[in-house]
A = this chain, B = another copy of it.
Amino acid sequence: MGIVRKTKAVNTVLNIFEHNNEAKSVVNLIELVKGEMNKTTVYRILDRLEQDGTIHCFNGKDGLKWYAKCNGCSENHHYDLHPHFQCTNCDKVECLSLEVKIPSLKNHKVDTTDILLMGQCSDCLT
């Protein structure tokens, strides 16, 4: 069970994800809400939102934890198998809504995938 109470802090975090479609690193989020709430609170709210299926978590190339809004996820089923794209120029991370086919592996059972593409985003290409 994730979020049970809609506190001011929860709304603030939700607003950030609602307002633009980019993924955010926890470090960045903590910076964004500095003065408004404690970093512990940020970590705990993200934990709860993830349990709810509101957001999903993955690792950026920088080794940091990143979070982004989920599309069509619920507490029970998490469609977090989509790849992410991180721009090596501006560091912005996007969720990609395409499916990557993984060739089947003998003697291995693949449950989840974690795919990060890196390069230049549309803003940095022009």
Contacts and interface: CB of A to CB of B under 8 A. Distances in A.
How many copies of this protein are present in the complex?
A: 2
Contacts of A112: 117-119
A101 interface: yes
A116 interface: yes
A61 interface: yes
A126 to B, nearest CB: 9
A35 interface: no
A60 B30 CA distance: 24
A90 interface: no
Given A107-B125, A112-B119, 5 more contacts: A59-B61, A61-B114, A83-B102, A85-B108, A100-B103
